[in-house]
């Protein structure tokens, strides 16, 4: 008698993680155009008081936008738990449009370990959801020592798939070297590359390569320990070790010409080393290119030679114009 394999009816969860400015949102925007994510519920976590990434991805279900000054792997973990529980019941009672997958985009300072633990050990969540894959982005422009950081190593170690982004900004020999380094750090992970004009399609990864790939299984944790209470009380500096961050927001209330904004970006980058700046990103209204001021985006990440400034289409009523800065902590004394 032949027994058919049982079908897992739990809702799959795709966790997208990676360092600050490594291209998570850019990759996600491309993947959201694919049929495989046509009916997904999207949860976005950002460190900062103003919502940026959620404004860029489009009108898909945004289950949770900004967790202000909270990261979903520690202080924000209870919010993530509640969001996933609410999503399940809202879908069951048809209070939201039906979705067949949940996508979580974590902030660049998030350790994926507690999220994996939550999905694996929480009594309710492990019955209703299954972790489909952890995909981590790694920027080709980042120096190798950065990947020796405790947080970066955790993002790499938990990944079923590593996406080496921004390959178009580096020589192929450098990309090959970085790829070999990543493979040594995560020997069982699938590694793909991504660039400005070339993004790996998600569907083949989920339906073929990742499904059949022999990636490392997540670490098993004791079900006796509640992952929410275990991680929620941890402060950011304990969680991120040397990568503890501070953030601030610089408001830009009036439209600015492109040349003036370019000069401001240059001045921010010039002061980056002194301030310990890791990343800045934001929106402002650019005047002079059309009859009315249009939304533009500015962003820069440590390792980039220059800031990117380009027009954007925002998918919600964005009303706070300015730039969020993410930096290393100030040294005491």
Whether 3 is covered by a domain: the verdict is no
Please check whether residue 244 is in contact with residue 281, taking contact to mean a CB–CB distance below 8 angstroms.
no
CATH number for the domain harbouring residue 141: 3.40.50.300
Note whether 92 and 149 are same-domain residues. Answer: yes
pLDDT reading at 14 higher than 90: yes
Q: Which of 234, 263, 278 is the last residue of a domain?
A: 234
Strands 101-105 and 11-18, how do they pair? parallel
Among the listed ranges 7-21, 174-188, 217-231, which one has the minimum average pLDDT value?
A: 217-231
| Residues of the domain holding 75 | 11-234
Whether 333 is covered by a domain: the verdict is no
Among the listed ranges 135-149, 232-246, 259-273, 306-320, which one has the minimum average pLDDT value?
A: 232-246
Task: Give 93-142 pLDDT, tens digit per residue.
Answer: 988 888 899 999 998 888 999 999 999 999 999 999 999 999 999 988 77
Note whether 130 and 39 are same-domain residues. Answer: yes
- Element at 250 (helix H, strand E): strand 246-251
Task: Give 254-267 pLDDT, tens digit per residue.
Answer: 999 999 999 999 99
Please check whether residue 65 is in contact with residue 46, taking contact to mean a CB–CB distance below 8 angstroms.
yes
**Count of domains forming the chain:** 2
Note whether 118 and 186 are same-domain residues. Answer: yes
Tokens for 303, please give them: 């390792």
Note whether 269 and 189 are same-domain residues. Answer: no
pLDDT band at 31 (very low <50, low <70, confident <90, very high): very high
d(CA 299, CA 281): 4
Note whether 54 and 127 are same-domain residues. Answer: yes
**For residue 241, what pLDDT is reported?**
41
Tokens for 9, please give them: 């009816």
pLDDT band at 218 (very low <50, low <70, confident <90, very high): very low
Strands 322-327 and 277-287, how do they pair? antiparallel
Whether 332 is covered by a domain: the verdict is no
Please check whether residue 172 is in contact with residue 180, taking contact to mean a CB–CB distance below 8 angstroms.
no
Looking at the chain, the whole-number percentage of residues with pLDDT higher than 70 is 75
Note whether 213 and 281 are same-domain residues. Answer: no
Q: Which of 234, 258, 274 is the last residue of a domain?
A: 234
**Choice between 27 and 50, residue whose per-residue pLDDT is larger:** 27
**For residue 129, what pLDDT is reported?**
95
Whether 304 is covered by a domain: the verdict is yes
Tokens for 57, please give them: 């991805």
Whether 277 is covered by a domain: the verdict is yes
Note whether 167 and 218 are same-domain residues. Answer: yes
Note whether 166 and 294 are same-domain residues. Answer: no
Note whether 263 and 209 are same-domain residues. Answer: no
Note whether 187 and 260 are same-domain residues. Answer: no
Tokens for 274, please give them: 């002194």
How distant, in Å, are the alpha carbons of 14, 28, 197 from that of 209?
15, 18, 22
**For residue 96, what pLDDT is reported?**
82
**Choice between 230 and 137, residue whose per-residue pLDDT is larger:** 137
Whether 23 is covered by a domain: the verdict is yes
**For residue 45, what pLDDT is reported?**
81
pLDDT reading at 220 higher than 50: no
Tokens for 202, please give them: 């998600």
d(CA 199, CA 109): 23
**Choice between 286 and 245, residue whose per-residue pLDDT is larger:** 286
**For residue 1, what pLDDT is reported?**
53
Note whether 253 and 137 are same-domain residues. Answer: no
Whether 5 is covered by a domain: the verdict is no
Whether 84 is covered by a domain: the verdict is yes
Note whether 200 and 310 are same-domain residues. Answer: no
């Amino acid at each position: 008698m032949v027994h058919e394999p049982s079908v897992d009816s739990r809702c799959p969860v795709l966790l997208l993680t990676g360092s600050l400015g490594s291209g998570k949102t850019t990759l996600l925007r491309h993947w959201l155009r694919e049929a495989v994510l046509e009916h997904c519920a999207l949860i976005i976590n950002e460190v900062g008081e103003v919502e940026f990434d959620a404004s860029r991805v489009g009108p898909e279900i945004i289950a949770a936008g900004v967790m202000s000054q909270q990261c979903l792997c520690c202080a924000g973990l209870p919010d993530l738990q509640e969001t996933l529980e609410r999503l399940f019941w809202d879908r069951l009672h048809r209070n939201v449009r039906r979705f067949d997958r949940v996508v979580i985009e974590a902030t660049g300072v998030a350790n994926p370990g507690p999220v994996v633990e939550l999905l694996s050990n929480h009594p309710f969540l492990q019955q209703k959801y299954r972790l489909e894959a952890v995909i981590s982005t790694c920027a080709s422009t980042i120096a190798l020592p950065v990947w020796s950081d405790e947080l970066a190593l955790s993002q790499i170690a938990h990944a079923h798939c590593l996406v080496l982004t921004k390959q178009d900004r580096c020589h192929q020999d450098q990309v090959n070297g970085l790829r070999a380094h990543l493979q040594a750090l995560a020997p069982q992970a699938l590694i793909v590359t991504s660039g400005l004009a070339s993004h790996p399609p998600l569907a083949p990864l989920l339906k073929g390569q990742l499904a059949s790939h022999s990636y490392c299984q997540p670490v098993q944790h004791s079900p006796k320990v509640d992952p929410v209470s275990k991680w929620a009380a941890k402060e950011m500096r304990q969680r991120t070790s040397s990568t503890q961050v501070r953030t601030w927001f610089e408001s830009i209330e009036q439209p600015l010409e492109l040349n003036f904004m370019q000069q401001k970006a240059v001045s921010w980058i010039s002061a980056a080393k002194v301030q310990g700046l890791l990343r800045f990103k934001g929106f402002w209204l650019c005047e002079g290119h059309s009859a009315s001021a249009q939304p533009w985006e500015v962003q820069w990440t440590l390792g980039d030679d220059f800031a990117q400034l380009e027009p954007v289409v925002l998918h919600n009523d964005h009303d706070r114009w300015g730039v969020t800065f993410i930096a290393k902590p100030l040294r005491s004394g």
